[in-house]
């Protein structure tokens, strides 16, 4: 990404949208994995078991996505 020459107060809006995108990514991961677990539960007739495990797996995947994104962004700064 090219360097941003805007003043710091103007850069905040773009950074805020990036953080909102990470939160949305986290939420979608939980819902997607939980939903897939719900479908598998319907197929295996084990209703809450795989859905709960899928939601936890989605939460972990979403958290790791945020962790690596923040780690990458902080390594770029001098």
Residue with tokens 């850069």: 11
pLDDT in tens, 33-70: 999 999 999 999 999 999 999 999 999 999 999 999 98
SS3 content of the chain, % helix, strand, coil (to 5): 85, 0, 15
**C-alpha 25: how far from its chain's center?**
3
pTM summary value: 0.79
3-class DSSP state of 44: helix
User: Which pLDDT does position 24 carry in this prediction?
Assistant: 96
CA distance 72 to 58: 21
Domain ranges of the chain: 23-76
User: Could you tell me how far CA 11 lies from the centroid of its own chain?
Assistant: 22
């Amino acid at each position: 990404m090219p360097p941003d020459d805007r003043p710091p107060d103007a850069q905040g809006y773009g950074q805020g949208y990036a953080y909102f995108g990470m939160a949305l990514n986290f939420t979608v991961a939980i819902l997607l994995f939980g939903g897939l677990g719900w479908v598998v539960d319907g197929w295996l007739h084990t209703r809450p078991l795989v859905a709960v495990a899928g939601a936890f797996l989605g939460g972990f995947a979403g958290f790791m996505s945020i962790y690596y994104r923040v780690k990458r962004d902080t390594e770029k700064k001098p």
